[in-house]
Amino acid sequence: MTSAISGPTPRASCIVGVGHTDWAEDYRRVRAGEKPEDSYGYAVRAFRRALDDAGLGRQDIDGLIVGPTLATERMGEILNINPRWAGQADAVQAILQAVMAIESGMAECIALVYGNDQRSARVQYGGPQAAGGAAFLSYVYHSPWGLTSQGALYAMMFQRYRDLCGIDGDDLGQVAVAQRAWACLNPEAIMRKPITAEDYLAAPFIAEPLRLHDYCLINDGGVALILCSAERARRAAGTPVHVCGVGRSDLNVRATSLGPRLLEFYRPAQKAAAERSYAMAGLGPEDMDAVYVYDSFSPHVFFALEGFGYCPEGDAAGFIRRRGIGPGGGLPVNTGGGHLSESYMQGWNHQVEAVRQLRGGLGARQVPGCRHVHYCSDVAGKAMSLIYGI
């Protein structure tokens, strides 16, 4: 157990409500040629369910943070709320912003709302019109050579990692197989057909060495979370889930030449973010009952297990074989199925699953005695770490 450091107060903020849309049903409808809603419609549906889960009303919300697919002003107008504090952020940064806003007294009860119609809108994540080109400079600088997708970038990362560590081609398949096993236990998941190691190897390469099952889903949907102060949480329904630790560290130097990605696998930033969150929570990786990793591609899990302190560098494949990350394993990872099999909500669905595991009652996929969980991400060199507890 590590000592506390200055920063936000541990357990001062809580998640009291979670809600999301019907990912599997909407996926079916979109594939059938329907368009159930736009991004705002999905967000509204999730918001209503999060309010119901928290036992709160719209009038209780005095803060609003929206995902980057939405505009704060328009979302507030649609929800008919006038927040006294508002912002825009991705999933993990939205949690960090909400914690800081609550801690500083800028708001007491904040709605975090996300919606995305990426599949029905046919959003491109690769090719000449790749989404994110303005946000991630690697697209801009490398697009003349056809390197326009995050999948290609992670294929390069994992190829170098694989060569350095001397692992076999099927080692990475452990991630996809384990997460699909979790999804088979999750009635909310889109992909619920079991896959084996043989199925993984039989699937085609998309960007070698990454195969079909190494890639996340692309689907429509929405997610909403309600965060409030620990004091305010006493008036909400259900079991509050406390934010026990937060940490962030970025690697920007040499980013456009892909240095942090290819030379260090983002480890320095991961370690720094992890240390800050562990210190704030007074916990360590050995205290975590489940881990949630941003997994737009399966190599994320390998890099996170090493960078956030769960196993030595270069040992992720062996660690997974020894401990197991699927149902019945020693370290449950992405227990809802993650982005690979549950839903690609860009980190937001992981927050919902983390809260539900801590609340308990998930049947066959429930982690026994779950009291502390860890969410971590390293997207584009921005390493972030959240520790939740009850």
Give the CATH fold of the 13-122+217-389 domain: Peroxisomal Thiolase; Chain A, domain 1 (3.40.47)
Nearest residue to 115 (alpha-carbon basis) of 62, 79, 149, 86: 79
User: pLDDT value at position 132?
Assistant: 61
User: pLDDT value at position 157?
Assistant: 95
User: pLDDT value at position 127?
Assistant: 73
User: pLDDT value at position 140?
Assistant: 66
Nearest residue to 167 (alpha-carbon basis) of 319, 309, 300: 319
Per the structure block, which two tokens stand in for 241?
């889930």
User: pLDDT value at position 3?
Assistant: 46
Q: Is the dihedral of CA 368, 374, 375, 377 positive or negative?
A: negative
Per-position pLDDT tens, the chain of length 390: 444 446 789 999 999 999 999 999 999 999 999 999 999 999 999 999 999 999 999 999 999 999 999 999 999 999 999 999 999 999 999 999 999 999 999 999 999 999 999 999 998 887 767 766 555 556 667 777 778 888 999 999 999 999 999 998 789 999 999 999 999 999 999 999 999 999 999 999 999 999 999 999 999 999 999 999 999 999 888 899 999 999 999 999 998 888 999 999 999 999 999 999 999 999 999 999 999 999 999 999 999 999 999 999 999 999 999 999 999 999 999 999 999 999 999 999 999 999 999 999 999 999 999 999 999 999 888 999 999 999
Distance CA 99, CA 337 (A): 27
Residue with tokens 């929570």: 281
Residue with tokens 């390469």: 205
Residue with tokens 């720094």: 272
User: pLDDT value at position 1?
Assistant: 45
Domain parsing of the chain, residue ranges: 13-122+217-389
Residue with tokens 């008919």: 80
Altogether, the residues listed in the chain come to a count of 390
Residue 285 DSSP label: G
Question: Hey, is 4 helix, strand or coil?
Answer: coil
User: pLDDT value at position 91?
Assistant: 97
User: pLDDT value at position 244?
Assistant: 98
User: pLDDT value at position 280?
Assistant: 97
> Phi-psi region for residue 7, left (φ > 0), alpha (ψ -120 to 50) or beta?
left
Per the structure block, which two tokens stand in for 207?
């960007």
**What one-letter code names the amino acid at 121?**
A
User: pLDDT value at position 131?
Assistant: 67
Beta strand spans in 36-191 (E):
63-66, 85-88, 109-116
The 10 Å CB-count burial string (b at 16+, else e) for 218-247 is bbbbbbbbbbbbbebbeebeeebbbbbbbb
**What one-letter code names the amino acid at 167?**
I
